[in-house]
Every structure is written in structure tokens, then in C-alpha cells.
Structure 1
Amino acid sequence: MLKYYALFLVLLFAFSATAQDTLQSVQIKTNSNSTKKSYRKVTNTATMTSKELLKAACCNLAESFETNPSIDVNFSDALTGTKQIKMLGLTSPYLMITEENIPSVRGASQAYGLSFTPGTWVESIQITKGAGSVVNGYESISGQINTELLKPADDIPFFLNAYGSTDSRFELNTHFNRKISDKWSSSLFVHGNTRVEKMDKNDDGFMDNPLAKQINVLNRWQYTNAEKGWVSFINFRYMNDEKQTGQMDFDINRDKGTINFWGSEINTERFDISTKIGYVFPGMPYQSIGFQNAFTSHKQDSYFGLNEYQITQKSYYSNLIFNSIINNTMNKFAAGLNFAYDDYNEYLAVPSISGNYDRIDNSVGAFLEYTYDNIDDFSVVAGLRVDNHNRLGVFATPRIHMRYNPWERAVLRASAGRGKRSANIFAENQQLFASSRVFDILNTKGKIYGLNAEIAWNYGLSFMQGFDLFGKTADVTLDFYRTDFQNQAIVDLYASPQEALFYNGKSFANSFQLEFNIELMKHFDLRTAYKYYDVETEYISGSAERPLQAKHRYFANLAYATHIDDKGHQWKFDFTYNWLGKQRLPNTATNPVSDRLPDYSPSFSLMNVQVTRTFSSSFELYAGAENLGNYQQDKAILGADNPFGTNFDTSIIYAPVFGQMFYAGLRFKIK
């Protein structure tokens, strides 16, 4: 039924787009920054615009952060090619990831959810360090990533993006937009990708990347009545994603469920409906009310060799927000109510653990956030929310953000806040299923898999100074953040290479970042950053570094664009360099010598490059390379010669597996 609905909409939009009159447009040329930071915003937020997202292929949201110094991008395992992001030294489950301020990647979708949003759908991304706003919930600990999608009222009639790469990955994105009336607009986004060839560049007998195919359809409707103060969005979305990985000789029809050859399938089907309704009171632009609602059905069926994992999550989210002022616009407040419901049906069959882990989580909360906004020098946002959760009980979430401008082009920020969340230990650690590890949960008295809720405090300071250097615009930023976990769901890979232990404990993460940006010459920008992480956890064996986390990282991005001539021709060149210091590796000391790894990985460098040729405002070609230096991890899979033996492990990944990859694509627009 959904397939026929999508086909009907494609035909309708295609006909409508061709029937519209071609209008003359005026192009305003600017040299705006592709990543924007504000001296007046209270939170430490950087906004990645669509211009920044075009610096790399950005096939999906997980790959959109390659050119951003605040986000670290790593591979999660040696099989699926899935990219994992970290911020402030913590993995993505500790980030609140939202789509237009509605929680999106959480629960069952934690492992692969970032790959379910195509990059071409994204209008901008806001990255906020530290505790987020209480308006968006209580789960944010290290920060928030909010994605804004293209708006139907502002979108162009047609967009096409085609992409292909040397790892046999091909993608096609089409956007259709139609103005139904002066108040109604609608967009249809259709995305498809596939990987069609088995490749084994490191000769370990396993595919370096999965065979895959995905269909992803989003239909957005926007209603705007500026005269009466109404604006609303309605979204319908369907996605089906299939991955197959494992040994090169694995055949699904012949070898599934046997020990002939090791193989895996991860099949996900997802359906989303969301609505947003906003009303601005007549004659009072400072007073508004908003109502958000979202329903999600997420189903994953998967197996990893002889291990099985199935999870279905049905969720409902609702948020009512009222914004107004107290006496004047320097004193603002937001108040509201929030309701969340999650129904999990989860089945797991791995060594030592087998059975159903079904549960229902629901919570209702109320929040109040006060803002004192003196745009000249000082602002503060103080918020408090109280939630009643059926498993976590009644608890309060306080958060505060402050901004001070001591002098021109300078801003000092400070923040502190508390976060609390239920750790979905299986969904968040699926890379461990592709191993022979025995799972064991040591705590059994808690209410989530026998564990207690995770509770953490985050504190941060940030200073940014803008200045002119040799007549060129430059800025420098220093950030320091600390996250203290009063209680964390610890994943212990130090106890034994044949075990994965889960238990509650304490940990901390210190993050320091020094960032320097300068416009070297007109249209030629340099962005650099040094990052230091000190992340330690109290394991059973004692306090130790968190594995697979480099203490030292260096980032640089060079971006150059030529002048746009009268015919609309332009060249754009982007180069990104990442250096990662040594990383502590999980314990493999008791393995046979052939399946042991050193205590630390070697340091290494990665280089990405992209060249874009614009022929007009409607057409451009791009080509690039990832991992230009062809660096590959040595011994990416332990026990590859005996995948059903006790030493098999594909999860200890600190560097790329595939090596050098080249790609090319085109973008075409009808304006």
C-alpha cells in the first residue's frame, strides 16, 4: 500500500512541477560562513548550513559531520560500515538527537538511526555542547544535535542528486515540491541507495562493507497563514533498510543458521508520523503556543552468525509549549507539558543470555524555562523540569546557561545541568553481537535489564574571541567540559576477551578543545582544532581509560572557492585532515598470540578531499576521495579464520577497514 502511495505522489509531483511556469529569479551572492557561531546566543551552539553539508558527499546524517571539529566520527565495527559519532568524549546515546526538536534517534534506532536520514533532506544542523534545554527533555547529557529539514514553503520545485563510489555504493535522491495554494505547500523526498558488490580489500575472508539496499520516502505538508498567526507541519515517512554482511562465501539461502560460513542480516522497517502546530497571538509576536506530536514504529530483525536479535519499538511523543514575556522582552519564559510512551518488544539469543526483554516506558513531565536576555552584555537561561516515569520514578532536571560579552567580538559562556536516561544496553551495543563474547549482566535489582538508570552532571566553560589577523577575519575558541556520571551502565571489555559484562558504576569525561579559524584570503578559509579527552571508568578491575577513545586528536579543513563568473561557473575545493592519537584497546591478553592486539593502537592520519564544479545555478558535478592515504586497520577481525570459535570478534575497530574510496556525483535543480 505504501509503495503505491509513494508512486502516486511521485507522478503527481512530477506533473505539477512541469506544469508550473518558469519564473525569473534574482540571485544574491554572499560570502557567508558555512558554519555559523553567534556572539549573542546563550548556548554554545554551532549551526552547519547547507553550504557546509556540500563540502563532503554527506550521503546520510552520520556522514554529515566529517568537516565539523566538534563531532568525532568513527566506525562502530568491521562489518556494517556504520559510522558512530561522539561529542565531548561520549558516544551518541548521551546526545539528544532531534529532528526539528522532536526526538528521533533513540531507543531501538541508536545503532543505525543516523544513517536513516539522507543528507540531501537536511537544511541545517544545530550542534549544542553541554546540557541542552529542559524544553526538549531530560535525556540530554553531553549535548544536542538538532536537524532542520527543508521546508516545503521555501523549497524549489525539483532537485536531483545521484552518487556512486568505488565501494559499489550508489544513491539517488529526488525532491519534488509544489505550492498547492497561497497557504499550503508540500514536498516529496524519495531516497534510494544500494551496495551491489562484495569486496574484501584486506583479504581476511569477510566483506569490508555490507551488501545493502534502502528505500526512504518522506512526504511533508506545510500550512502557513501569517495574517492569523498559524503555521503547521505534517510529515509521513516510510523506510526499509536491508543489510547483509559476513564471509565472502556466505549464501543466505544455503548458510543461514548453520556453521558453514558466518553471515549476518540486519533488516529494519520504520514508519513515522509527526505534526507541529504553532500559533502566534495577534499583535503579540513575543507570545506563542506550539504543539508537537510524533508516532514511530521501528522494527529490526537481525542475526549475527548464530546470535539473534530482534527489537520492535512503538513510540508516541507529545510536547505542548507556551512562550511569552514578563513585563518586557528582556524577560522571557517558556512553560509546558510533555508526554512520552515507548513500547519495546525485544528478543535476544546470545551465549548465556536468551529470552524476551519486553517493557513499556512512559513518562509525563512539566517544565519552566526563564530567559533574561540583555543582548548588549549578559544573558542567562535557567530551566527546571519535573518528570514522573514509571521506571525512573519522580525526578527533577535543573539546567542553566549563561553568556557574557566582556568586550567587542568576545563571548564567555558557562553551563551546568543534569541528565537521566534508561540505557538500552543491547540496542546501543549491537556491534558486540558479531563476536563470540558471552554476555553477563551483573546487577539484577534495577528496573531496566536489571540495571539502574544512568545519571550524570555536565559542566562547561567556553570562550570565543574574534579578531583581525594580517587584515583577515579570524577567531579562536577554547572549550572545557566535564561530565560526571553518578551512575552509568558500564560495558566492560577488560575483564576477558570472551566476555561482555554490563553493570552499574561511576565514570567521568573531561573534554578540552582549542579551535582556530581564519579567512586566509577571499573565498579561502582554514579551520583547525586540537582536542584532548580524559575519559575514565571505574571497572571491576580498577579505574581505566575508556577503550577506543583517542586522548589527542587534531582536525583541519581547507575550503577554497573561485569567483562565480557571469555564466555561473565556479570551482570549489575542500580538504579535511584528521590525526588520531593512540587508543586504549580492549583486553585480548589471554587469546592465542595470533588473535592478540597490543594495549594501544598506533596513531594515524586520515585525509578526505572533494572538488565541485558548478556549471550554473541549476547543475553541478562533484568528485572526491575518502581516506586518501589508504590507511587500513591491521587485523580488523580477530579469529577471522574460525568465526564460530571462542576468539572471534569484529568490534575492536579504531581505524578504517575498507581503505581508499573514490566517489562522484551530480546535483540538478529546477528553480
Structure 2
Amino acid sequence: MLKSVLAACLFLLFVLPTFAQSSRVVRVQDSLTREPVIGATVRTPNSVKPLIGAVTDANGLATISGLPTSVTGLVASAVGYETGSFPLTAGSDTLVFLLKSVDESLDEVTVSATRTNSRIEDLPIKVEVLGQEDMNEESAVVPGNISSILGDISIIHVQRTSAVNGNQAIRMQGLDPKYTQILRDGLPLYEGFSGNLGVLQIPPLDLKQIEVIKGSVSTLYGGGAIGGLINIVSKSPTSEKPEFTALLNRSGLKESNGNAYYSQKYGKTGLTLFTGYTNQQAVDVTGDGFTDSPQIKQVTVHPRFFWNPSNDSRFNIGYSYTTEHREGGYLPRLEGTAAANTYQNITDLQRHTVDFDANHNTSETNSFTLKGALSTFHRKNTDYQKLSDGRQSSVYLEANDLKRFGKQQLIVGANLTVEAFRKNADSTRLVDYTYSTIGGFVQDDWQVGEKVSLQAGLRVDHHNTFGNFVLPRLSLKLKPSDPWTVRLSVGTGYKTPNLFVNQTPGALNVSLIFPRLLPIDVATVKAERSVGTNMDIAYSKTFENGFSIQVDQAFYYTYINTPVVAQFASLSGTLGAYTNLVNAPYNVFSVGTDTYVRLEYKSFELYLGYNHTLAKRADKNSTDVANNSYLPLAPQDKFSTTLAWENEHFRFGVESSFVGRQYLYNNERVRNYWIVAGAAEYHYNEHWRLVLNTENALNVKQANYETVVTGTNPTVQPTFRPVWAPLEGIIVNAALKYTL
């Protein structure tokens, strides 16, 4: 008898709770419009027998009664929507399930730079995405690099950093290029020595999208993302049918491009392969004897292999190889008709990168990711007949765990970055160094309610040379009504000193060529620290007649303490005074607004963007002009506009941009200018496209306003004015694109 009573008690204690039943109220909404979905079915998963479910009413509400406590999730489905699985969370509040419409899922944009792979509409931070359609168009308009499409964004200013070798860098929010962090597939591959040349020589044919995050986001990836972050995302295979695209291009600047892309799934595996070749001859457009467009011979190969062993696991590994020979300088010297001591700038580089990304869903609500990259970069440069020769090896490893529970997404992770520079025998005074940074981060995305969400982040980094850094960050998103979204972010950042990271000279004629650089005095030069805030007010609505409008008004402010600048050193050599890095006796701030409007109606699309930035050096205790001047080469006004029209066989587009109130050193103001571009595309069928494009149709050149190359003996030892306007003038190109 006693045994029977004990068995019954055990049954009641352990078994009956499994069959305890409860009721839950669920609201089903459209994930984009947040409108209620009427007639949606909400039920238990197929593994639960018998199935229990209900249908939503006119308010999108469904009450499900009799749920066993063992059920941890529900399934929601509706006509015209993708079926979704959603976790059951504790509490008595109404659960909100967001369903993605079938049409929306085809064009849905997810952002990988934030690590949660969230939809762009759901992010508490403002992200601008140039998507697949933009990449497809740009691959034929400017097939050699992505600088043109980035320059179309009003808050971005693409700055040419050399008068002869064509190198370019990116300014965001008026700050120096070193404060913009560039990632490739979420990996910081272009840090230190490996990022000083040709970062924007990335063809768009290989890309899925480009993600632009404005303002301080150093909490996500560590030091450097003070002005903003740009993540360049590669394509992945999408179909078991082969995808193949080939492109041939020729420009009036004697540039030829041949690019090809292949992609295909093979069951649980997949492959993408990009190959690109650029051959550009040296051209002197202005007639001053120096190359305005350098000679470039470049080969790029980028294969990636994908493997999905199960629905919960995925793995990809890629290899990227780039080799490039680049020559600029006195054109007769390049052609072999001038004396051997005349000016020539020659660069040979090779870049090898192996990267991987592994992800496993340990449960419906938990995902673990391990990713990393190993790369080597070798650059040999001859400038002013002085050789610099160095190699950098880099390692990046990251592990993170993403946990979804209730209305929150929590990601915790750690990463390691190693940058090892080794100098070969050359003419410089540079020295070997190894920098390593180990960091940990945590980020919590919390959907507080239907109209409020928060994102809080904290990073702690330890740098082996420059010490420890603690970086908190907070973002808030408000949705007061369907068309309106308000985002507010506050974040901190840091930047460690580095000789090779797009330094802007602290004064006119301070040279940054490697033969003039002195090693960093790590005992006296300290890392820069910053704080920044961004606010966006956005309105987005699509009307019944198909007309859609997007308006975004942004405000931002960034403050940087004791920035590291390049200055004349007391030592001098055959090329003049050496250059060293020091902490400036002033601080830097940038404050501004950014406005853009995007209108679409039937076959027409119009984009208008205006950016106003005031970026200054500021020291309230000094009356020195140099300490209270505008940041050089940072336009205060930039206006951009794009108008496009498309039908079944044709597409036409006109772009223009105005660059105004730009200053050099000691508040020397330069001329304002307009850049106008136009493109026409003809689709013969779904396979063939012919594109005719014109860049800088008004033929604006800096040489129209001043002499760019000066000096007492310019053919041997020239002095170059800072580059603040285009050098090449008008560029016309024609491209033929074939897609299988």
C-alpha cells in the first residue's frame, strides 16, 4: 500500500505538470507595416500531438487555450506570408509575432555588421545599405572599384590622398579617413600597413551589398570606427542553377577591365568565384608632364566555398589574392624618354587572405559563431628614388554567442587582433613592431514594447602597447507611429597610433611618404579617445498608387581628445625634414546635419542628399590660428542628387554633387565645384547589357584653379599641392555585361 501511495505521489509531482495547461494571447502583425494580419493560423509545432491552434481576428489577435507547459514555441502562418516559428516567453503580456510577406522576403535587407543579422528596419542604430541592385548597376558603370558608389552618399567624401598614384580614402562626418573603419564580410582586413593603398580597388561585381553605419561604433569591432563603419559584404550562392556574369569595360582614360563571377549551389555545398583584371595606362590629362591617372596592372581572384551540413550549421571559407603594379610620376620617365633621376613613384603589392565563418544553432534560440582571417600584405614602393619595403601579417579571430529570449537578443563574444609589421632592407627608418589587441564585448537588443527598443553595448580591449580601453554604447529606437522612426545613439571610441593609417598632415607640406617617416615614440604618443552622438528622424511611407517616399534627417556630434597628427621632426635627410607622429595640443570636434530624401514612382527614382559639417581643431586656451582652424580637406557642404528612369529595355540616370566651403591648412579656402555624371543602359534581353557612362561631365579639374605640381626642380623633386578636387577631368567608359 505504501509503495502505491509513493508511486502516485511521484506521478503527480513529475508527470502531471507536463500536462498542465495554460492560455496565451498572440498578436500577429506584418513585419514591415506592423498592420494586423487577419486570418493567420497560430498553432503548436508538428511535434506536439494533438495540434492546438487558433485563427486571428480583425485585430490580428488569437487566444490559444489548453497549451501544455512543455510547449516552448508556436508556429504562425498566413496566405502571402512566410511561415514563422516563435518562442513562448514568460509573463502574461500579449505575444507579438511578426510575419514576413512573400514579396518583402524577396527584397528584405539584413545587416551583418551588427552581428545579429537583423532586418534593417528593426535595428536601433541607423544603417544605410547599398543593396544588390546598386551593386549590379555599379558593376557596369564603374567596374573597377566602389569609390564612385560610396561617393554618391552625401555624408561620405571620397578623398584622393596622392596626386600621382591614385590612392583614395573615405571621410565620414568630416573626420579624417583614419576614423572610418572598413570591414570585408565583418572582418577588419585593412588595418595598419595593409590598409594604406588600394582599399577601394574592390570591384562591385563580387558584392552583395555595402553597409554604412554612421557615427561611433567602436563597441562593435574595437578601435577605429569613430566617424563610421563600412562593411563590404560578398555574394553567396543562392540557387542550384549556375549564375555566371562576365563584364568587359573600356574608358577614355585608357583603363580596361575584365571581370567574371560564378556562383552555384550543389546540394549542401556551394561555390562562388570572382576573377578580375585591370589594365590602366598612365595618362597626363592637364599637360603638366605628371600622371593624373597612374599606370595600374591588377589581378584579383576570390573563391569561396560554402557547406551546410544541416539546417542548424553552416560553414564557409574563402581565399582572396590581389597582385598589383602601379606607376605614377613624371610621364616621360615612365615612358623611358627622360633622365633616370626624374621623379617616379612605383608600387608593387601582393595581398593574400584566408577567411572563414562557422555558425551553429545550438537551439531555436541560441546561435554560436566562430570566424576569423589570416592575411599577408607585401608592399614595395620607390618614391623620390628611395625604396620602402615591408610586409605585414595579420590575424583576426572572433567567437560570439547569440541568445534570443523573450523580447531580447543578447550577444557575448571575444576577439583577438594581431598586426605584425616586418621591414625589409630599404631606405626608411621604420622599425618592426607587433601590435595585438584582445577584447571582449556584450550587446543586448531589447524590444521594450511595440514602439520602443534599446541596444546597449560594452567593449573592453587590451592593447599590448597602448593599454586598456572601456567602450560603452547606448542606442534607442522609437516608433511613435507607422511612418515615423526616431533613433538616438551615444558611443565612445579610441584609435591607437599607427604610421600607416591614412594620416592627415598636421600642417602644409608635411610629408607622409615612408622614407620620411620616423618610428612612433610609444613612450610619449598616446591613443586617441572619442565620444560621439547621432540622432536620426525618419519618415517612410508607400501609397496605394505605388508612390513611395523616404525622408531622413540626421544630427551628429563627435569629440576627439588630443588627436595624433603628423608634424615636421627636428631631424632631416636628403628629402628634407622627417615626419613624426605626436599628440596635437588641440582637440577635434565635428558637428553637422545630414538630410536625404528618396522618392519612387513607377519607373522613376529620385534621391536628394545634403550634408553640412563643421569640423574644427579647437583649443580654448590658445589663440594660435593653427589650433582653431577648420580640419583640412573636409568640405562643409555637400549636396548630392540622383535621378533615374527605367523601362523594359532602357535605364537612364543622372547624378550630380556639389562640394563647397572646403579648406586646406591655416583656413585657406579653395573653390567650390560641381560634379555631374550620366549613364545610359540598354538591356537587349535578360542576358546582355550595354552601358555608356560619363563621369565628371563638366570636366572639373584642380589644375583649372591652381598649379598642382610645384618646386624649384619639379621634374626631379616635385612638391605637390594637397588634392582637393578631381585631377583626371571627364571620364567616359563603355561596358558590355553578360549574365547567364
TM (norm. structure 1) is 0.84
Does the Cα contact within 8 Å between 1:554 and 1:578 map onto a contact in 2?
yes
2-structure distance, mates of 1:491, 1:481: 26
Structure 1 counterpart of 2:125, which letter? T
Deviations 1:529-582 (A, max 9, x none): 1111111125874211111121111111111111x2xxxxx2111111111113
- Give how far 1:114 is off: 2.2
2-structure distance, mates of 1:153, 1:474: 30
Gaps of 5+ in 1: 1-27, 565-569, 588-597
The reply on whether 1:613 has 2:682 as its aligned counterpart is: yes
Secondary structure class of the residue paired with 1:356: coil
How many residue pairs align between the two structures?
A: 611
The reply on whether 1:473 has 2:544 as its aligned counterpart is: no
Question: 1:295 — aligned with what?
Answer: 374
- Give how far 1:525 is off: 1.3
- Give how far 1:59 is off: 2.2
Question: 2:362 — aligned with what?
Answer: 281
User: Where do residues 176-255 of structure 1 align in structure 2 (5 Å cutoff)?
Assistant: 176-179=262-265, 181-196=266-281, 198-227=282-311, 229-251=312-334
Does the Cα contact within 8 Å between 2:236 and 2:263 map onto a contact in 1?
no
1-structure distance, mates of 2:472, 2:104: 44
2-structure distance, mates of 1:78, 1:620: 34
User: Where do residues 173-572 of structure 1 align in structure 2 (5 Å cutoff)?
Assistant: 173-179=259-265, 181-196=266-281, 198-227=282-311, 229-251=312-334, 258-259=340-341, 261-282=342-363, 284=364, 286-326=365-405, 328=406, 330-346=407-423, 354-374=428-448, 376-429=450-503, 445-447=521-523, 451-467=525-541, 472-491=547-566, 502-505=581-584, 506-519=587-600, 521-538=601-618, 541-562=626-647, 564=648, 570-572=649-651
CA 543–349 in structure 1, closer or farther in 2 if over 3 Å, else same: farther
Secondary structure class of the residue paired with 2:662: coil
RMSD, aligned CA: 3.3
Sequence identity, in percent?
A: 18
Secondary structure class of the residue paired with 2:356: strand
- Give how far 1:376 is off: 2.4
Question: 1:164 — aligned with what?
Answer: 250
Question: 1:102 — aligned with what?
Answer: 187
Structure 2 counterpart of 1:237, which letter? S
- Give how far 1:194 is off: 0.7
Does the Cα contact within 8 Å between 2:179 and 2:227 map onto a contact in 1?
yes
- Give how far 1:200 is off: 1.6
CA 413–306 in structure 1, closer or farther in 2 if over 3 Å, else same: same
Does the Cα contact within 8 Å between 2:250 and 2:256 map onto a contact in 1?
yes
1-structure distance, mates of 2:382, 2:126: 41
The reply on whether 1:124 has 2:206 as its aligned counterpart is: no
Question: 1:136 — aligned with what?
Answer: 221
User: Where do residues 640-659 of structure 1 align in structure 2 (5 Å cutoff)?
Assistant: 642-643=713-714, 648-659=718-729
Does the Cα contact within 8 Å between 2:270 and 2:306 map onto a contact in 1?
yes
Deviations 1:331-369 (A, max 9, x none): 22000121111101247988xxx4132110112121111
Does the Cα contact within 8 Å between 2:126 and 2:536 map onto a contact in 1?
yes
- Give how far 1:164 is off: 0.8
Does the Cα contact within 8 Å between 2:222 and 2:461 map onto a contact in 1?
no
Secondary structure class of the residue paired with 1:221: strand
2-structure distance, mates of 1:83, 1:423: 20
The reply on whether 1:668 has 2:668 as its aligned counterpart is: no
CA 39–188 in structure 1, closer or farther in 2 if over 3 Å, else same: closer
Structure 2 counterpart of 1:309, which letter? S
2-structure distance, mates of 1:498, 1:529: 43
- Give how far 1:436 is off: 9.4
1-structure distance, mates of 2:110, 2:362: 33
Does the Cα contact within 8 Å between 2:484 and 2:538 map onto a contact in 1?
yes
Deviations 1:74-129 (A, max 9, x none): 32222122332211112332122111111122212333242342211011111111
Does the Cα contact within 8 Å between 2:412 and 2:441 map onto a contact in 1?
yes
Structure 1 counterpart of 2:606, which letter? L
1-structure distance, mates of 2:591, 2:662: 16
- Give how far 1:429 is off: 4.2
CA 89–200 in structure 1, closer or farther in 2 if over 3 Å, else same: same
Deviations 1:426-464 (A, max 9, x none): 4524998978999577x97535xx521121111111111
Structure 2 counterpart of 1:274, which letter? D
- Give how far 1:253 is off: 7.6
2-structure distance, mates of 1:248, 1:113: 21
2-structure distance, mates of 1:533, 1:430: 18
The reply on whether 1:47 has 2:129 as its aligned counterpart is: yes
CA 349–416 in structure 1, closer or farther in 2 if over 3 Å, else same: farther
Deviations 1:470-493 (A, max 9, x none): 973222211111111113112459
2-structure distance, mates of 1:29, 1:538: 48
2-structure distance, mates of 1:117, 1:654: 23
Structure 2 counterpart of 1:654, which letter? W
2-structure distance, mates of 1:151, 1:66: 25
Greater CA deviation, 307-316 or 654-663?
Answer: 307-316
Greater CA deviation, 290-299 or 354-363?
Answer: 354-363
Does the Cα contact within 8 Å between 1:436 and 1:644 map onto a contact in 2?
no
Deviations 1:610-632 (A, max 9, x none): 11111122111111100000111
1-structure distance, mates of 2:175, 2:627: 20
Which of residues 236, 259, 265 is equivalent to 1:151? 236
1-structure distance, mates of 2:543, 2:470: 47
CA 337–426 in structure 1, closer or farther in 2 if over 3 Å, else same: closer
TM (norm. structure 2) is 0.76
CA 577–33 in structure 1, closer or farther in 2 if over 3 Å, else same: farther
CA 102–247 in structure 1, closer or farther in 2 if over 3 Å, else same: same
- Look at both structures and tell me which one has the larger radius of gyration over its CA atoms: 2
Greater CA deviation, 151-160 or 375-384?
Answer: 151-160
Does the Cα contact within 8 Å between 2:465 and 2:522 map onto a contact in 1?
no
Does the Cα contact within 8 Å between 1:536 and 1:545 map onto a contact in 2?
yes
1-structure distance, mates of 2:419, 2:520: 22
Does the Cα contact within 8 Å between 1:347 and 1:356 map onto a contact in 2?
no
User: Where do residues 583-622 of structure 1 align in structure 2 (5 Å cutoff)?
Assistant: 583-586=662-665, 599-622=668-691
Deviations 1:580-631 (A, max 9, x none): 11321236xxxxxxxxxx9211111001111111112211111110000011
Deviations 1:48-81 (A, max 9, x none): 1121231542421333313323322232222122
Structure 1 counterpart of 2:202, which letter? T
CA 437–428 in structure 1, closer or farther in 2 if over 3 Å, else same: closer
1-structure distance, mates of 2:218, 2:368: 17
Does the Cα contact within 8 Å between 2:218 and 2:224 map onto a contact in 1?
no
- Give how far 1:262 is off: 0.7
2-structure distance, mates of 1:411, 1:428: 35
- Give how far 1:166 is off: 0.4
Structure 2 counterpart of 1:68, which letter? I
Which of residues 61, 67, 83 is equivalent to 2:146? 61
Does the Cα contact within 8 Å between 2:343 and 2:716 map onto a contact in 1?
no
1-structure distance, mates of 2:554, 2:678: 28
Greater CA deviation, 134-143 or 183-192?
Answer: 134-143
2-structure distance, mates of 1:106, 1:437: 17
- Give how far 1:131 is off: 2.3
Does the Cα contact within 8 Å between 2:330 and 2:715 map onto a contact in 1?
no
Gaps of 5+ in 2: 1-102, 112-118
- Give how far 1:247 is off: 0.6
Does the Cα contact within 8 Å between 1:371 and 1:379 map onto a contact in 2?
yes
